[in-house]
Amino acid sequence: MPLHTTTYGDHGSRVVFCHGLFGQGRNWNQHAKDLAADHRVLLVDMPNHGRSEWTERFDYVDAADRVAGVLDADDPVALVGHSMGGKIAMVLALRHPELVERLCVVDVAPVRYRSATEFAGYIDAMLAIDLTTLEGRREADAALTDAVPDPGVRGFLLQNLRRDGDAWRWQPNLELLRDDLDAVTDWPEEALDVVTPYDGPVLWMGGSESRYVRDEHAAAMEALFPRVRRVTVKGAGHWVHSEKPDVFLEVLRQFLG
């Protein structure tokens, strides 16, 4: 099954967005609309998210190859990825450089992150909701409050709650993501041992308040992406593009040229 995609714009260079964990392509809708006057924009639901296919395991190489399947070597893209989607985008650029004209990595590094406790708590709380008796989103929001006290994060997670007829369901493959969280927070270093560094231009954008991009990550980033330029967005946390959308878009526009 192909991945679910949404397109904006009908001319200009091609820009492809990869969302993060618990996200979906439509998280980038506003940015896509803003760019559509000058670019052809493609929003992709990552495997096990949104309307895309579910898989039997989480694997960055497999996910990157699946995203590569919707791209075309005759029309290389500017590839933008946030968090989990940033790792997928990096792996794709390393394995299929002919598909990627330039790369933008948002608030993640090509390293293993040690703790997945926060994400595990989110998934456990989502799975604990009895969807067979759920009356509406307000009830679901209340059920998540203890585990997810930040209303912005709750709202983000609840975008994944869908109603099909009389039944509620979660769009992401939550059981798989819970079982494979170690793979989500990992980096497939061994699988990428044989690839050469990606030699295209790379924008590495992070939030000043985020713990996902640190100075000690620079060596790993520069080893794989020697033409990297790092930009730190002041006052932004992990969700740079939603917390500081105007700054994010301006920096991205400059990178796209």
Catalytic residue annotation: 83, 175, 238
DSSP secondary structure of 234-256: TT--S-HHHHSHHHHHHHHHHHH
Strands, E, within the chain: which ranges?
A: 5-8, 13-18, 39-44, 77-82, 100-106, 161-164, 167-170, 202-207, 228-233
Residue 32 in 3-state DSSP? helix
Q: Which residues contact 88 (CB under 8 A, 6 or more apart)?
A: 18, 46, 60, 63, 64, 67, 81
Could you tell me which of 74, 79, 17, 75 has the C-alpha nearest to residue 50? 17
Find the distance separating the first CA and the last CA of the chain, reported in whole Å: 34
Supply the DSSP symbol for 82: E
Q: Please choose, from the candidates 15, 33, 26, 31, the residue with its C-alpha nearest in 3D space to the C-alpha of residue 79.
A: 15
- The strand order across the sheet containing 13-18 reads 5-8, 39-44, 13-18, 77-82, 100-106, 202-207, 228-233
The full length of the chain comes to 257
DSSP-derived letter for residue 52 is: S
Tell me the β-bridge partners of 41: 8, 15
